[in-house]
Each structure stands twice: as C-alpha cells, then as structure tokens.
Structure 1
C-alpha cells in the first residue's frame, strides 16, 4: 500500500531543520502524542518538550527534539514552529540539564503568580520526562 505524502517543515528561530515530503509525523502535542498524516483535519496545537518522529516519503525515519512551540496542521501539510529544536542525534544531555536547572531557579524565585508557577512546574516535569527518554535512547 502506498502512503500519501504531504509537506512537512520543522522550523526553529535558529534555522529551518527540515523541509520535505513525508508520510507521517508524530508530534509531542501538549494534550498528548499526535500522529499527523496526509489529509489531516486542520488543527493548531501547542507542543511540549519531546521527540518529533518523521517518516520521510523516501522511507527514512528521522527524530528531532523540540522544547515547546506550535504545530499548524492542514490537510496538505504540517509546520512545526519550535521554540528550540535539534536533531535527536545532536542533542547534548547537558543542554536538557541546563534547561532543567534554569526552570528550577525560576521556580525558586517565588515572584510568580500561581498560574505562572503551575506552568513552570509543568514545563519542569516535561523536561524531566524528555531527559529520561533521551537517556534511554
């Protein structure tokens, strides 16, 4: 069975990481992992820190680590606008640990609204889970 392909772009403020035809993309949406395929219903969602798995039209599987952002999904394509992203094989574990430390120090400042503190704690939890996934990989 031939899988329908669609345009996929992964963009971070630093660079365009990927722009090509793909058959499937698995994204770490805030509400849970989401698989995007051709003809997906139009959707916009936020991303949490996690791994994006891309199956290219050529049959390769590529993995990228994102640290939050947005996904804009259309029937003809999908664009991920990541706050920060790197190919999984280029990820430096200390980079995640630095982010964890930075979030912990923000939490320790105690100068946040309850809502902001809750968001920071959620982000810290997501980073910690991501660190466990990367260590296991």
Structure 2
C-alpha cells in the first residue's frame, strides 16, 4: 500500500471510484482543478499499482473542508478509508475540519464519529429534493 499525491494521470481511476461509490459525483474538471490548487491536499492510495482510494481536503480560511473521500468497493472494509484519513492528519495542518455527508449514509457517519467528528448542523435538500446533508466538524 502506498499513499501519495494525486496526479493528472490518476484522474480516470479517481472518476471510476467516484461514480461507483459516492453520492455526489464530481466531473473530471472539478478533480483536475482541485489537484492544481495550492490550498488543496489531494491524496490517493495504491495497492499493486492500482488506485483503490482517494481523499480531497481544501483549506478554507482557518478551516479544512473534507470534500471527497472514496474507496473502491473491492477495497472497502479493510481500513483503507482510515489509512487515507490518517495520512491527512499526519500532515499536521492543525486546523478544525468540516464536511457534509448524506444523512442516509450511516456507514460514513459512523466512520466520521469514530474519527472525532460531531454533528453541527444540517443542510436540507443539499443533494437534491428531500436529500439532506449532515454537517460535521472535528476540532484539532
């Protein structure tokens, strides 16, 4: 297993994971723009030269915002999401982190709670009609 920065050659694999496992899909250009930003931290995880997960965090003022995290279904349940999350924490950015997660994504909400996030709000219809987001925060 190796965790490293996402590069443009990784984007087709990132998009495949996005389409397979995420609720809110990003188009190619969103990912392309994000990996070029100076205020973003874009990491991916490889296993045997195959990209199996990714995480994107952006610094917004004095906060970090977890924008996307995804692990290929074949690599889920093996602690890979945790390894990606731990990698961003090891950067010692020392800022609180915020995120939005679909209110029906119980597995993700449990993951975030295990990692010290607490619910601080809700965004109604964030993912479309009657599809709400839970807003969570982790203080560092």
Q: Give the TM-score of the pair, scaled to structure 2.
A: 0.26
Q: Which protein has greater RCO, CA pairs closer than 8 Å, 6+ apart?
A: 1
